[in-house]
Structure 1
Amino acid sequence: MNTAKLEVPEMVPVLIVGGGPVGLGLSLELAYRGIRCMLIDQGDGVVRLSKMGHVSVRSMEHCRRWGVAEAVRNCGFPTDYPLNQIFCTSLNGQHVATIEYPSIADEPSGNFSPEKKQRCPQLWFDPILARAAEATEEVMVRYDSRLVEFSQDADGVTAVIEDTHTGQRGEVRAQYMVACDGSGSAVRRALGIVLQGDAVLSYSTGIYFTASDLLKHHKMGPGTRYWMIGEEGTWGNLTVVDAKDIWRLTITGSKEKVEAKDFDADAWLRRCLGRDDIEYSITAVLPWRRSRLVADRFGEGRVFLAGDACHVNAPNGGYGMNTGLGDAVDIGWKLAAVLQGWGGPGLLDSYEIERKPVAQRNVDAAAINFGLTRPAVSYAHVEEDGPEGEVTRERLAAAMTANTRQEWETYGVHLGYRYEGSPIVIADGTAEPEDHLSDYVPIARPGHRAPHIELADGSSILDLFGQGFVLLCFGDIDATSVNRWVNAAAERHIPLKIEPIGDTAAASLYACRNVLVRPDGHVAWRGDVLDFDAGEVLDIVAGRTGSIDGYCPEADKLSGAAA
């Protein structure tokens, strides 16, 4: 080993381990809040394979705050490419069904968000985030650097980092560390944190390949995913990457472990293509394990886990990376608040309380989606011409199209999650609405994402949120009461902005005269009156004092006439 010392900063506020989309997203969240951080990754920063391609509408809202949404929208994926789901026996075999979904350009602008979901393969998404991070003054990105070991005490974390090329090592002191180092997280293992759930839903294999202008060589038409069906059932799926030459074929597999030496990638690929004369080049063949797992803890002391390090999703539905970005935003604003001196000790404690139920919900939904792609009906004769094959395909078409809506219509998953029972959310006594994974009903109930509405000037109300807390005041403002809020926030150095909203539609949607929105865009409190101790509310939502069962001690008065 090279004994020369690796040059690293002696102290950073936050050390991020792992430079995938979650680690990069966290670095941007911290930079947005003026917090310096160092991100290390043992890779070279080049993304060679696209394991994800779906950027959810909520993730796009985060990208909007970070200033990268336009780059994601213009990443290179054709906006006129239909996002259909196609079920077939091969690209040149029997057609079973098509669920038509519009292209990004043709998808109507929804009432739910100023953004739309995007197709942006990881080949492009990660570099967009990396360029933005490297362009900030707050983020230091170091590739080819691995975490060797770490220890923590009451005041911070000491990490030993090694240059993977030279072997040189250096020691970094950080106030906090966040591990975004994937499902095999070395940090998680070092902390003795275990993953709980189903370790094996199936052993699958990804075949990454290129085939020039593949759409010209098959008869199924453009789609974002092609489900491959044989008499044994759904055996795989072909996923679009760049909508032209780059593709990923996933062989579903079973609970029997796949041995690479026994896997014939060419045979599976030829079966998918349905013709032997289509030229292709295999980039990589990667066996992997489809799981449903959530960590029993999301951190210990000054070290936290985010993304796949604390929840492992089946890819069905594209929830994994998007859930991870939600983790990054939640822990990011809370770390910033504590480092800036206005966040209390309860703020960081609330990270696991808020995010673990969301992670469990999403890994469960993905596992259900996986099961729905394999309906328990007969697949006999599905690949045959003639009446028997037609009857089978009609039966499968009905089952497949009915089963897969949850996986592809996901407003509920991405916008409808809520932080029920959070100690930094003041409940208003209203009943929790149904948590529907497909359908989303906008609501400004405490714990929920503050809903989007377009204001009179054409802007989104979401653009008011981000830097500190925002008190939305609908209707006439009680200047005396508002001043008490401003003074209480100033005394505690809590960033607070007062936003008068004269829009009657917005007032109706938010359902109370006053709504307090957190830096992450979730509602912290709402009520019709302000004539109480504002400091008590601010202490709770900033984690400075505890609440009882999610309620403020003056809950009845604070809830006002919330609808």
Structure 2
Amino acid sequence: MNFDCDVIIAGGGPVGLFLAAELGMRGLSVRVFDDKPGTSTHPAANANSARTMEHYRRLGISAEIRALGLPPDHPTDVAYFTRLGAHELARLRQPSSSFAVNRLRELEFLWPTPELPHRCSQLYIEPVLRRAAESHAGARVQYLSTVQKLSQDEEGVEAEIALADGASQRCRARYLVGCDGPRSTVRSLMGLHYAGTAGEKRGFMGGRMAAAYFNAPALYERMKGERAWQYWTLNPEQRSLIVSVDGRGSFIINIQLQEGEEPNDDDVGRRIATAVGADLPFELISNSAWTAGFALVAEKMRSGRVFLAGDAAHLFTPTGGLGYNTGIEDAANLAWKLEAAVKGHAGPGLLDSYEAERRPAAFRNTGFARQFADSIGHVRIPADIEDDTPAGEAARQALGGYLNFHAYKEFSIPGVHLGTRYEDSPIVATEAGSPPPDTANLYLPCGRPGHRAPHVWLDDGSSLFDRFGQGFTLLRLGASATDVAPPSALMPLHDLALDDVQARELYGADYVLVRPDQHIAWRGNRLDESFAAVLDLARGAGAT
């Protein structure tokens, strides 16, 4: 059977491009089809989680991405005001990108990772991901091209691609992944629907939203207080969220539209002035609308040889910045499984494990995002919040106290970033006992199978994560871990010996099998003939 490529990816946003880069790195041939003329020109996702940055580190692009977005020493604080030129209500201080590089270990207890979160718009990240994908000979990105029909059989998938000039082309591959957003054509062609909560109404982050991208360096002159990454304004006239895109004068402002209202370029100046408290010159770059109030997950994430990832598989209200980051984790989970299937290493259950692992993770993360949206969206704004009176000052103190609590709750979330676990996965050697609690604001490293492998700084200053292989890694911890691993012709295995007391304590075993996506598949204190069954389980060909 002739194939044009191993994997077709519908959608060239950050999830599709990351998946292409990961598959290309793994030696697979990939075709990405996207309906836009190129990478994004309007800022959308602006927060890269620690886990996403860890995946970018595996691709070798985390340092390049960390140099993008805000200037190195620009604060990444989240600040709350009545209006930017009036009263500051609350502020959550967060490290700059230079701090994340030079003083990372000062936050090691809260963030046990080699990569702190990074505040940078997908506007800048997509070109990096595209270059990373196209650096591999087998990966090709084609714009102004839309997957409009597909069919599949026992051996592959055929897609019909609509081109901008009205023509069409066909592409046949072993597998297809729909990364084509919330209005996913692939999901529709699969006959699948979202399940969950939609249409939630809130005072903010619940309903139709307008997002205007603009240049206004003069905003800094009108603003009281220090610079930040996010500026929230709350007053009886308007609530808004302004995000600094480049730290030099480019911003995006989000406001909630009233019933029946649509984005209007003529209204942008008024909205900016209402948020700032004064008119100021600006240049409008683009204006769009989107809808908040969703916590949705596709009823299935796989149908035969077709998979869903990113917004095609789940739709978030963007509080917490979880939508795009959940999509990157989808792609990291799926990539190595597709590699194993194409190269003949996969057992019959490996591809099924994608939905078994990622669908519960999507429900988990949409649940967190919904909590954050409720926390800020339903907050009541006192009528006298702007009054220069004792009552107004008391109202600001009270609201500020709540907002300080909320900001920590939504933005200091290592547990959300690092705590995804696959304890119920069919390809994980399940252990008895209870895992650490899955909480938003605290991450407790855990060596139980299914969890993200705990990070450790080694004596030479490097990260343990940088020592893992591209495939599975057998981690030997301690001088006594000298048993010989039974060879496996079906699954490439990187053997890594590490005599490190901290690592042995964190992982809780002499031997640990780490998957290509840095989750633990198994741990134990002996290697014997039963390890062959562990390898079979991890590649989807066995059972505990």
Of 210, 219, 224, the residue aligned with 1:214 is 219
Per-residue CA distance 1:203-256 (angstroms, 9 max, x = gap):
211122111253223223201111111137x722111111122111111347x4
List aligned pairs for 1:457-468, cutoff 5 A. Answer: 457-468=460-471
In structure 2, do the counterparts of structure 1 residues 377 and 19 end up closer, same or farther at CA, with 3 Å as the change threshold? closer
List aligned pairs for 1:211-360, cutoff 5 A. Answer: 211-231=216-236, 235-253=239-257, 256=259, 258-260=261-263, 264-276=267-279, 278-290=280-292, 291-360=294-363
Of 453, 456, 459, the residue aligned with 2:456 is 453
Partner of 2:204: none
1:89–1:229 CA contact under 8 A, matched in 2: yes
Report how far residue 285 of structure 1 moved. Answer: 2.3
In structure 2, do the counterparts of structure 1 residues 382 and 341 end up closer, same or farther at CA, with 3 Å as the change threshold? same
Task: Compare 458-467 and 137-146 and name the one that shifted more.
Answer: 458-467
Report how far residue 76 of structure 1 moved. Answer: 4.8
Q: Are 2:38 and 1:45 aligned?
A: yes
SS at 1:425's partner residue? coil
Task: Compare 212-221 and 295-304 and name the one that shifted more.
Answer: 212-221
Once residues 333 and 151 of structure 2 are traced to their aligned partners in structure 1, the CA distance between those partners, rounded to angstroms, is 24
Question: Which segments of 5 or more consecutive residues in structure 1 lack a partner in the other structure?
Answer: 1-8, 553-563
Partner of 2:175: 176
Q: Are 2:3 and 1:14 aligned?
A: no
Q: Are 2:532 and 1:535 aligned?
A: yes
Task: Compare 465-474 and 522-531 and name the one that shifted more.
Answer: 465-474
Q: Are 2:518 and 1:521 aligned?
A: yes
Report how far residue 533 of structure 1 moved. Answer: 1.9
Once residues 322 and 377 of structure 1 are traced to their aligned partners in structure 2, the CA distance between those partners, rounded to angstroms, is 30
Partner of 1:196: 195
Task: Compare 96-105 and 261-270 and name the one that shifted more.
Answer: 261-270
Question: Which segments of 5 or more consecutive residues in structure 2 lack a partner in the other structure?
Answer: 201-206
Task: Compare 462-471 and 11-20 and name the one that shifted more.
Answer: 462-471
2:157–2:172 CA contact under 8 A, matched in 1: yes
Once residues 30 and 301 of structure 1 are traced to their aligned partners in structure 2, the CA distance between those partners, rounded to angstroms, is 19
Q: Are 2:99 and 1:106 aligned?
A: yes
Q: Are 2:414 and 1:421 aligned?
A: no
1:214–1:244 CA contact under 8 A, matched in 2: no
Aligned pair count reads: 529
SS at 1:372's partner residue? helix
Task: Compare 151-160 and 194-203 and name the one that shifted more.
Answer: 194-203
Report how far residue 483 of structure 1 moved. Answer: 3.7
1:466–1:521 CA contact under 8 A, matched in 2: no
Partner of 1:511: 508
* One-letter amino acid of the structure 1 residue matched with residue 269 of structure 2: D
1:299–1:305 CA contact under 8 A, matched in 2: yes
SS at 2:15's partner residue? helix
* One-letter amino acid of the structure 1 residue matched with residue 28 of structure 2: I
Of 8, 16, 20, the residue aligned with 1:27 is 20
Partner of 2:48: 55
Partner of 2:70: 77
2:76–2:119 CA contact under 8 A, matched in 1: no
CA RMSD of aligned residues (A): 1.8
Once residues 428 and 342 of structure 1 are traced to their aligned partners in structure 2, the CA distance between those partners, rounded to angstroms, is 25
Partner of 1:123: 123
Once residues 257 and 289 of structure 1 are traced to their aligned partners in structure 2, the CA distance between those partners, rounded to angstroms, is 13
1:113–1:452 CA contact under 8 A, matched in 2: yes
2:23–2:30 CA contact under 8 A, matched in 1: yes
Q: Are 2:367 and 1:364 aligned?
A: yes
Once residues 121 and 330 of structure 2 are traced to their aligned partners in structure 1, the CA distance between those partners, rounded to angstroms, is 20
Once residues 281 and 512 of structure 1 are traced to their aligned partners in structure 2, the CA distance between those partners, rounded to angstroms, is 59
Once residues 46 and 443 of structure 1 are traced to their aligned partners in structure 2, the CA distance between those partners, rounded to angstroms, is 38
Report how far residue 510 of structure 1 moved. Answer: 1.0
In structure 2, do the counterparts of structure 1 residues 23 and 87 end up closer, same or farther at CA, with 3 Å as the change threshold? same
Once residues 425 and 57 of structure 1 are traced to their aligned partners in structure 2, the CA distance between those partners, rounded to angstroms, is 24
* One-letter amino acid of the structure 1 residue matched with residue 174 of structure 2: Q
2:30–2:139 CA contact under 8 A, matched in 1: yes
Partner of 2:414: 411
* One-letter amino acid of the structure 1 residue matched with residue 531 of structure 2: A
* One-letter amino acid of the structure 1 residue matched with residue 524 of structure 2: G
SS at 1:338's partner residue? helix
Partner of 1:555: none
1:213–1:244 CA contact under 8 A, matched in 2: no
In structure 2, do the counterparts of structure 1 residues 472 and 261 end up closer, same or farther at CA, with 3 Å as the change threshold? closer
SS at 2:424's partner residue? coil
2:78–2:93 CA contact under 8 A, matched in 1: yes
In structure 2, do the counterparts of structure 1 residues 239 and 538 end up closer, same or farther at CA, with 3 Å as the change threshold? same
Report how far residue 262 of structure 1 moved. Answer: 11
Once residues 466 and 54 of structure 1 are traced to their aligned partners in structure 2, the CA distance between those partners, rounded to angstroms, is 28
Per-residue CA distance 1:86-145 (angstroms, 9 max, x = gap):
111211122222222232223541431112221221221101111121222121111111
| TM-score, normalising length: structure 2 | 0.93
Q: Are 2:85 and 1:92 aligned?
A: yes
Once residues 542 and 258 of structure 1 are traced to their aligned partners in structure 2, the CA distance between those partners, rounded to angstroms, is 52
In structure 2, do the counterparts of structure 1 residues 32 and 257 end up closer, same or farther at CA, with 3 Å as the change threshold? farther
Partner of 1:3: none
* One-letter amino acid of the structure 2 residue matched with residue 279 of structure 1: P
SS at 1:448's partner residue? coil
In structure 2, do the counterparts of structure 1 residues 537 and 307 end up closer, same or farther at CA, with 3 Å as the change threshold? same
Partner of 2:203: none
* One-letter amino acid of the structure 2 residue matched with residue 335 of structure 1: L
Report how far residue 431 of structure 1 moved. Answer: 1.1
Of 490, 497, 501, the residue aligned with 2:498 is 501
2:485–2:527 CA contact under 8 A, matched in 1: no
Per-residue CA distance 1:422-443 (angstroms, 9 max, x = gap):
0000012131210011111111
* One-letter amino acid of the structure 2 residue matched with residue 287 of structure 1: A
Once residues 480 and 535 of structure 2 are traced to their aligned partners in structure 1, the CA distance between those partners, rounded to angstroms, is 19
Report how far residue 375 of structure 1 moved. Answer: 5.1
Identity of aligned residues (%): 38
Once residues 167 and 539 of structure 1 are traced to their aligned partners in structure 2, the CA distance between those partners, rounded to angstroms, is 48
Report how far residue 532 of structure 1 moved. Answer: 3.8
